[in-house]
Amino acid sequence: MSKPDANQLLAALAGTGESKAARFRNLLPQINAAIERGVRHAQIIEALAADGLHMSHVEFRNSLYRERRREEGKKAPHAQATQNTPASSASMPIATTPATKTTPQSIRSGRFDYGKFRDGKTKW
C-alpha cells in the first residue's frame, strides 16, 4: 500500500465541511427556538454532539454569546440611522440664556475662594 500524498489529504479535508463556528451559525435559528421553548443548554449540547458537533458547555455559551453579538451588530446600523434622523426645527427646543449673570463670587459666598488661590501667584 502506498501512502496518500498531500494532494489527496487536502482533497479529503475539503470534503469534511465547515468549521465548528460555521456549523453552529447555521443551526442558530433552531438553537434559539429550542431555548425559547425552555430546552436546557445541556440537552441542546447533547443533541449537537449526536449530530457531530461536539462542544463543552463553556464553548456553547461563548459561541451563543458571540453569534448573538454578531446579530446585534448587523441590526445596529439600521437602528442608528433611524435614531439619528434630524427632527424638524419646530420641535427642537431653543436654548436660552439666563436673564441674570451669575458671578463666581455669588456662587462662592461664605465659602473659601479656591479660584483666588488657584489663579494667584505662587509664593514659593
pLDDT 10s digits, 38-55: 999 999 999 999 988 999
Q: What is the pLDDT of residue 75?
A: 75
Looking at the predicted structure, is the pLDDT value of residue 104 above 70? no
What are the backbone dihedrals phi and psi of residue 76, each rounded to the nearest 5 degrees, phi first?
-60, -45
Share of the chain above pLDDT 90, in %: 34
The lowest-confidence range among 37-41, 71-75, 100-104 is 100-104
Asked whether the predicted pLDDT for residue 86 surpasses 60, the reply is no
pLDDT at 103 over 90: no
Q: Residue 11 is which amino acid?
A: A
* 117 — pLDDT class (breaks 50, 70, 90): confident
Average model confidence (pLDDT) across the chain: 77
- Distance separating alpha carbons of residues 81 and 90, to the nearest angstrom: 21
CA-nearest of 34, 37, 24 to 68 is 24
pTM to 2 decimals? Answer: 0.49
Query: Please, which pLDDT band fits residue 88 given cuts at 50, 70 and 90?
Result: low
